[in-house]
Amino acid sequence: MLKILATDGIDKSAVKELEALGHEVHEQFYEPEELKEALKNYDVVVVRSATKIREPIIDAAAEGGKLKMIIRAGVGVDNIDVKYAEGKGIKVRNTPNSSSASVAELVLAHMLALSRFVGISNVTMRNGEWNKKKYKGIELAGKTLGLVGFGRISRELAQKASALGMKIAYTNRSGAKDEYPEFTFMELDELLKNSDFVSIHTPAMKDGKALMDSEKISLMKDGSYLINCARGGVVDEAALLDAIKSGKLAGAGIDVFQEEPTKNKELLDHPNVSVTPHIGGSTNEAQMRIGEEVVEVIKSL
């Protein structure tokens, strides 16, 4: 029997299946200092984005000698010091196949909201304004969507956006130009200059700097849109806001922030910005798939 701690919640069906396998599952969020002590009593910890597993917590868990595995219930593992944990003999796994569709759909939701003024219309109409003439939008069909990074989520998005009639350009770290002949490979700078919408799909930079800083944003096509449903910090929020205020960019869709919960009120309140509170994987279907993957990972332990 394994003792399993789910610090940020887990789908009920996964809990039932794990318990049916004879394991003990506890769902409880702990602050960092409390988590150090708690992990000494568990074989497995399952986290989402809210819980950070950093070196001091790993040291405490390793000292306890019980923790065998950290599972990120989601795709990115930026909130876990992976190499450090593995160096201490603690395995780290994620659920890479579970939330691709839900994140891709959220990107599309932001693109549609921005292109047709859906978000700001919800605000102004409730304030008694009828801005029919002001909100002349654009259609997604025929526009170029530039995908920075071309992993599972990005490829899912490419298929969905193609179905809406969008042209797809992509860039990736491997530089593999012929792997996806149905789409157009471009180097990053070329992609930024030629895309009507740019969607980021990369992990956080190793040096902690923003991939999309003021220099990269300045390369983007005038009047284009930037979407970030990937990682907070990948986009320089100050540079992004400056570009929107100056009219360089028409707007932005943001699900992830440099600090969460974000205190960047000026960015949140800008009428040309569509925002959501880090909900890329927050669908019933994605959480069920995540739970299923977590169960399979634990079975392999």
Task: Kindly report the CATH number assigned to the domain that includes residue 35.
Answer: 3.40.50.720
Averaged pLDDT, 182-197: 97
The per-residue pLDDT for 161 is 98
Judged against a pLDDT cut of 90, whether residue 83 lies above it is answered with yes
Q: Which residues are known to be catalytic? A: 231, 260, 278
The per-residue pLDDT for 41 is 96
Report CA-CA distances (Å) from 244 to 33, 92, 133, 267: 40, 39, 21, 10
State the total domains in the chain.
Answer: 2
Averaged pLDDT, 100-105: 97
Judged against a pLDDT cut of 80, whether residue 242 lies above it is answered with yes
Same domain, 14 and 67: yes
The per-residue pLDDT for 12 is 96
- Both structure tokens of 83: 């190499």
pLDDT tens column, 266-288 = 999 999 999 999 999 999 999 99
Averaged pLDDT, 56-84: 95
The per-residue pLDDT for 97 is 86
More confident residue, 40 or 76: 40
Count of C-beta atoms within a 10 Å radius of residue 162: 14
Averaged pLDDT, 196-216: 93
pLDDT tens column, 111-142 = 999 999 999 999 999 999 999 999 999 999 99
Same domain, 90 and 119: no
Same domain, 16 and 138: no
The per-residue pLDDT for 175 is 63
Same domain, 65 and 117: no
Judged against a pLDDT cut of 80, whether residue 88 lies above it is answered with yes
Averaged pLDDT, 70-80: 92
Query: Is residue 143 very low, low, confident or very high in pLDDT (cuts 50, 70, 90)?
Result: very high
Same domain, 52 and 161: no
In which domain, by residue range, is 40 found?
Answer: 3-96+284-299
Judged against a pLDDT cut of 70, whether residue 19 lies above it is answered with yes
Same domain, 80 and 222: no
Averaged pLDDT, 153-165: 97
Query: Is residue 49 very low, low, confident or very high in pLDDT (cuts 50, 70, 90)?
Result: confident
Average pLDDT score, the chain: 95
Averaged pLDDT, 20-49: 96
Same domain, 77 and 224: no
The per-residue pLDDT for 174 is 73
The per-residue pLDDT for 176 is 65
The per-residue pLDDT for 75 is 87
Same domain, 162 and 254: yes
Same domain, 252 and 120: yes
Please state, for a pLDDT cut of 70, what percent of the chain lies above it: 99
- Global confidence as pTM: 0.91
Same domain, 80 and 18: yes
The per-residue pLDDT for 247 is 98
Same domain, 165 and 18: no
Same domain, 154 and 198: yes
CA-based nearest residue to 134, from 117, 119, 115, 114: 117
